[in-house]
Amino acid sequence: MNSADSDSEMAIEVSEARPMGFGQLAGLSCSIGPGERLVLLGPDNELLARYMKMMAGMEPCGTGSVRLYGEDSARMGVSRRRELRCQVGYVQQAIPLLSVVNGRQNLILAARYHGVGDEAELEARASELLQLLPDAHQHDNLPAYMSERLHRLFVLARPLMLEPDLLFIENPLHGLDHADRAMVGEFLSWIHHRGKTGLVMSTDDVAFSLGFNGRILYCDGESSAMYDSPAELLRSKLPALETMLLQQKIMRPIDAKKLLTGHQYE
Amino acid sequence: MSLLHIPVTRVIDITGRRTILSLRYVWKLAAFTWSVLTFWRGQGAGRGFNRRAVVGQIIFSGIDALPTISVIAVALGLSVCAQFILLLQSVTSDKDLMHILSQTLVLELAPLLTAFILTGRSGSAIAVDLGNMKQRGEIQGLECLGMDTPRYFVFPRIVGLMFSQLCLSVYFSVIIMVVGVVFSAFLSSPANYKYLFILTDSIGLYDLMLFVIKNALFGLLIGAIACFHGFRVGASVTEVPQQTQTAIVNTLVLVFVVDGLMVLLK
């Protein structure tokens, strides 16, 4: 099924699902359409990664149900899960490129494996992506001879060669300095504005999730809540989320008002 | 404390356990190899595209190994083959002499020594290469792209090694015999050049078939065991040398076992 076929239906439907071996955690429920944007926000990146893998169909869920394009994830075999990566891409946190081939070959590798186009088509797709990446003189280098930011951008660009409907990215800004964060942010924004691929990202960074301007699913293992916009998240009364906002020094309108009228944080 | 103080039951217990472990190892190795080599029977991506990886493996394992193989074959031709000819030509007929040389040097020594060189050169490199990729998470990254990594990495390596082992073994046999005959002619009499023509008559079609099967099996063992152990590396970098060492030792043992079993077919 390609994105055109699936526009009318939800790409992913999650109902009270918990990752395998995490029966005590809060169940997650949400629906994600092709091309949609969603941020999974929470204090524990490792836990969010488990939820992300479950939602993307990388791993079967422990309880509840996850349906990808109407298909029950629990009943999928290994080969079906692999095929699905052409529609639902996944980028793990801190995963390196393949060290034995250069940047360009890293981009083309998976697309060639899945036979998504002939060589000329793949080269054209790769060139389109390469134009967006900085440090052009390093594109044909082995990953060990690339800058950190270029390496990170190649990792993000690699699944785009498969033109998935949705791309799951674990903590995309992990370990980046301010300048590199801006560059990765720009690239993510380009992916979204291109309109072919939706983004589902996990993060523990509230400012990033607010700046992303999409739906935000808060999840800390004990509770979860869906917010349709950053403004709605800032109005939230969820105690765990309020603590997170406080810890990351995010000033909400309501807090600003309290501050102006002499109220203090407890 | 001497060995005599160990109870017989303990010796039987240890021997039994070691035998079961060895059989279990061979079973797992066979299952791994079978799953990789029979992928063409299944469905999905990645079938029949690995031609360039097979060629790359042949270049690395076959062509790049030619200088080493040449030096060893020339040295053995001078020391072993020429000596055999000089020693045996006075006590046996030309036909028997060539039969002895073809059975020992061409059909036994050449495949074994080629297998040793390939194990030390390519087997260890493959185990380290895959082990490092596995340890650094590069393989996990490719799995996120929907690639069947055992199939993608193992199949071309096995096929490349089977082909390289066979070709190098033929090359080794030719060099050792030509150098041996030429050197013996130089030391003894120019009449010894006749052995080059008698040699071709002393190897029958059945011998030739066994030679091909034996070399193919050796190549299969070297590739499969190196990949099997490369994929067994976990998260710790210390596992890479451990698995490499085990791969080399197990390959040598199994090459000898297969070589021994092949005698039964004669």
Mean pLDDT, range B39-56, rounded to an integer: 68
Q: What's the pLDDT score for residue B41? A: 60
Instruction: Give the residue with greater pLDDT, A100 vs B39.
Output: A100
Q: List pLDDT tens digits, range B173-195.
A: 999 999 999 999 999 888 888 88
| Residue B165 maps to a domain | yes
- Is B212 within a domain? yes
Position B119 scores a pLDDT of: 96
- pLDDT at position B130 over 70: yes
**B46 domain-assigned:** no
pLDDT score of A21 more than 90: no
- Report the range out of A155-159, A244-248, A261-265 with the highest average pLDDT: A155-159
Using the predicted structure, report yes or no on whether residue A3 has a pLDDT greater than 60: no
Q: Which residues of A touch B144 (CB under 8 A)?
A: 58, 85, 89-92, 95, 159
Residue B36 lies in a domain: no
B51 in contact with A, Cβ within 8 Å = no
Mean pLDDT of chain A: 87
| Closest chain A residue to B50, measured at CA | A113
* pLDDT bracket for residue A15 (50, 70, 90): very high
State yes or no: pLDDT of B94 exceeds 70.
yes
pLDDT tens column, B241-254: 999 999 999 999 99
Instruction: Provide, rounded to the nearest whole percent, the portion of chain B with pLDDT above 90.
Output: 68
Q: Which chain B residues are Cβ-neighbours of A90 within 8 angstroms?
A: 144
CB contacts of B142 in chain A (<8 Å) are 98, 109-110
For the cut 90, the answer to whether the pLDDT of residue A102 exceeds it is: yes
- What is residue A23's predicted lDDT score, i.e. its pLDDT? 76
* Residue B63: inside a domain: yes
pLDDT band at A2 (very low <50, low <70, confident <90, very high): very low
pLDDT in the model for residue A13: 93
CA distance A164 to B142: 15
- Tally the domains of chain B: 1
| CB atoms A97 and B141 under 8 Å | yes
Query: Phi-psi bin for A175: left (phi > 0), alpha (psi -120 to 50), beta?
Result: left
User: Which of the four pLDDT bands, split at 50, 70 and 90, describes residue B198?
Assistant: confident
User: What pLDDT does A1 receive?
Assistant: 39
Q: Give A-chain residues touching B50 at CB under 8 angstroms.
A: none
Q: Is the pTM of this model over 0.95?
A: no
B197 pLDDT tier (thresholds 50, 70, 90): confident
Say yes or no to pLDDT of A260 above 90. Answer: no
Q: What is the mean pLDDT of residues A26-35?
A: 88
> Looking at the domain assignment, is residue B41 inside a domain?
no
Q: Determine the average pLDDT of the residues in A77-84.
A: 90
Angle at A70 between CA A66 and CA A72, to 5 degrees: 40
DSSP B126-151: HHHHHHHHHHHTHHHHHHHTT--HHH
Q: Is B18's pLDDT higher than 90?
A: yes
Residue B181 CA to residue B196 CA, distance in Å, equals 7
What pLDDT, on a 0 to 100 scale, did the predictor assign at position B3? 60
> Does any domain span residue B34?
no
Given an 8 Å threshold on Cβ–Cβ distance, is B138 in contact with A83?
no
- Contact criterion met (CB < 8 Å) for B45 and A97: no
Q: Is B126 within a domain?
A: yes
Q: How many CA atoms lie within 13 A of B26 on its CB side?
A: 10
Is A96–B141 a contact, with Cβ atoms under 8 angstroms apart?
yes
CB contact under 8 A, A79 and B132: no
Could you tell me the residue range of the domain that residue B224 belongs to?
52-263
pLDDT at A264: 44
